[in-house]
């Protein structure tokens, strides 16, 4: 009995946390995942914030693991951790651990899955098990053609019905044709009319004739950080709810 109790108390050591506000970052297979190291670095600069990352397999193509300053969990960890009945289940431990989940970027594929309740990897299992009284932010990022498909709006409004909060994508001027390499740093961001909150007050530069406007790019990291900061402040106002 004693032994069973000890086993039941098994914890995931990498989830021991000194932070008072725990942010779990979900990252999916969009080129915007190359911003993951910057996003994590800036989150860690917020006072009292601790960060962990959950990645999909495809997202791994876009960032360098060594450049991400915190523990990254993937599907392999989920299945390596669980060997027998008394072992912790990683997606449940992660949803317990996190005060806030921010999926940045949220690609079209994972958007489709989570809006339909599909949970076939670590990230989508965390989302499926999410305590909806806690904030979940999602930052869509996709090719303009994907963005404009009518199913995108339907799926995004579904997520909002669940209480999840969108950090809207932005338009970028593309020099690259309609393939929409919208998230690469050499493209030039221009503000959207309805996104006047973005800290971007420069006049749009004159672009060559082959340039197109590409809606669907992930919000700037600075925008995501400021939304997380708002939730951090809210949690300080009600400390008992963030435990
Ligand atoms: C180079 C490259 C860039 C991609 N960029 C995006 C993107 O920005 N947004 C998107 O929705 N899908 C993008 N995709 C497609 C996704 O990676 C693909 O749908 C994948 O299955 C997503 O898997 P995941 O949601 O499990 O990460 C890209 C694919 C490639 C090869």
pLDDT at residue 209, rounded to an integer: 43
Tell me, yes or no, whether 59 lies in a domain: yes
Rounded to whole angstroms, how far apart are CA atoms 159 and 157?
5
User: What are the backbone dihedrals phi and psi of residue 164, each rounded to the nearest 5 degrees, phi first?
Assistant: -75, 150
Domain membership of residue 7 (yes or no) is yes
CATH number at residue 37: 3.40.50.1950
Atom of ligand 1 nearest to the CA of 113: 25
Within a domain: 8: yes
57-84 burial: b if 16+ Cβ within 10 Å, else e: ebbeebbeeeebeeebbbbebbeebeee
How many structural domains comprise the chain? 1
Query: To test the ligand 1 pocket, which listed residue (30, 57, 138) has its Cβ within 8 A of the most ligand atoms?
Result: 30
* 20 falls within a domain: yes
Ligand 1 mean position, distance from CA 220 (Å) = 19
Residue identifier of the C-alpha nearest atom 26 of ligand 1: 56
Task: List average pLDDT for each run of 10 residues in the chain, which is 243 residues long.
Answer: 45 76 98 97 97 98 97 96 92 97 98 98 98 97 94 98 97 55 40 33 41 79 98 82 45
Range of the domain at 71: 2-168+219-236
Residues in contact with ligand 1 (CB, 6 Å cut-off): 28-32, 56, 58-59, 107-110, 141-143, 146
**What is the per-residue pLDDT for 239?**
55
Res 10: pLDDT:
62
Question: Is 178 a member of any domain?
Answer: no
């Amino acid at each position: 009995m004693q032994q069973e109790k000890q086993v039941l108390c098994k914890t995931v050591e990498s989830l021991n946390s000194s932070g008072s506000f725990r942010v779990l970052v979900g990252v999916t297979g969009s080129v915007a995942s190359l911003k993951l190291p910057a996003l994590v670095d800036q989150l860690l600069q917020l006072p009292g914030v601790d960060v962990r990352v959950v990645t999909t397999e495809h997202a791994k193509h876009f960032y360098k693991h060594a450049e991400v300053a915190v523990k990254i969990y993937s599907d392999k960890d989920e299945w390596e951790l669980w060997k027998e009945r008394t072992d912790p289940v990683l997606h449940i431990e992660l949803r317990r651990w996190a005060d806030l989940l921010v999926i940045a970027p949220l690609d079209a594929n994972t958007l489709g899955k989570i809006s339909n309740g599909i949970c076939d990897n670590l990230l989508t299992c965390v989302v499926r098990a999410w305590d909806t009284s806690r904030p979940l932010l999602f930052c869509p990022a996709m090719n303009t053609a994907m963005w404009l498909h009518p199913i995108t709006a339907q799926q995004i409004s579904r997520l909002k019905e669940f209480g999840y909060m969108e950090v809207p994508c932005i338009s970028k001027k593309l020099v690259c044709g309609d393939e929409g390499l919208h998230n690469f740093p050499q493209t030039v961001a221009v503000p959207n009319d309805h996104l006047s909150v973005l800290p971007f007050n420069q006049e749009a530069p004159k672009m060559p004739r082959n340039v197109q406007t590409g809606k669907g790019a992930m919000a700037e990291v600075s925008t995501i950080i400021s939304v997380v900061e708002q939730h951090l402040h809210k949690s300080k106002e009600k400390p008992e709810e963030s435990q």
